[in-house]
């Protein structure tokens, strides 16, 4: 059996769980999230705990069992505490500025790049060179952070660009004189 799929997921106080067939809806202090699970997987809510059951020991069912358990645990964590990713902008003149709900990036191009966050994701600025992406859905937060990073990924010679806060950029040596 999948060790992740077997784990019971405790539902904290203040979180309501609604299960309608394969659709699981969670509502908590940070927001609301729903996910449509695979028809073979069965999500059970009992005694303040969630668990996932699979119909057989087939390879695909075992894989779905762990995936479903992990997705369910992330949903509970998201509505209770939320998810957050921080991005650093490195480079002379590289910066971001708020423009309503969206962000405008100045990254050395001939024009500023504007980013409108998807539904359920909030982007904010702690400083002109530090962007915070937060939300309830872990996948949406990660995707939004990856889209922002893709505007100007860090380059290996000077390290200029947008990088995750604790990301280690592999640096290359420049040209050497003979």
- Asked if 140 and 31 touch (Cβ cutoff 8 Å), the reply is no
Q: Write down the pLDDT at residue 162.
A: 96
Q: In Å, what is the CA distance from 111 to each residue of 16, 90, 123?
A: 46, 18, 21
Q: Write down the pLDDT at residue 176.
A: 82
- DSSP letter, residue 140: H
Q: Write down the pLDDT at residue 138.
A: 96
The pLDDT-based confidence of 2 (bands split at 50, 70, 90) is low
Tens digits of residue pLDDT in 10-66: 999 999 999 999 999 999 999 999 999 999 999 999 999 999 999 999 999 999 999
Q: Write down the pLDDT at residue 3.
A: 82
Residues 122-127 have a mean pLDDT of 95
Q: What is the pTM of this model?
A: 0.90
Handedness of CA 70, 43, 38, 13 (dihedral sign): negative
Q: Write down the pLDDT at residue 149.
A: 97
Q: Write down the pLDDT at residue 1.
A: 47
Tens digits of residue pLDDT in 70-97: 999 999 999 999 999 999 999 999 999 9
95-99 and 102-106 beta bridge pairing: antiparallel
Q: Write down the pLDDT at residue 5.
A: 84
Q: Write down the pLDDT at residue 98.
A: 94
């Amino acid at each position: 059996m999948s060790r992740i799929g077997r784990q019971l997921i405790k539902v904290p106080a203040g979180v309501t769980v609604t299960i309608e067939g394969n659709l699981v809806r969670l509502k908590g202090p940070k927001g609301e999230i729903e996910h449509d699970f695979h028809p073979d997987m069965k999500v059970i809510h009992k005694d303040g705990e969630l668990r996932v059951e699979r119909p057989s020991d087939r390879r695909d069912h075992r894989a779905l069992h762990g995936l479903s358990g992990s997705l369910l645990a992330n949903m509970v964590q998201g509505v209770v505490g939320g998810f957050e990713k921080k991005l650093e902008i490195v480079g002379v003149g590289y910066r971001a500025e708020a423009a309503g709900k969206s962000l405008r990036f100045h990254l050395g191009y001939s024009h500023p790049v504007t980013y409108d966050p998807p539904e359920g994701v909030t982007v904010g600025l702690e400083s002109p060179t530090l962007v915070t992406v937060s939300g309830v859905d872990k996948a949406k937060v990660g995707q939004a952070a990856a889209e922002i990073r893709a505007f100007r990924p860090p380059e290996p010679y000077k390290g200029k660009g947008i990088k995750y806060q604790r990301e280690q950029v592999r640096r290359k040596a420049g040209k050497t004189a003979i």
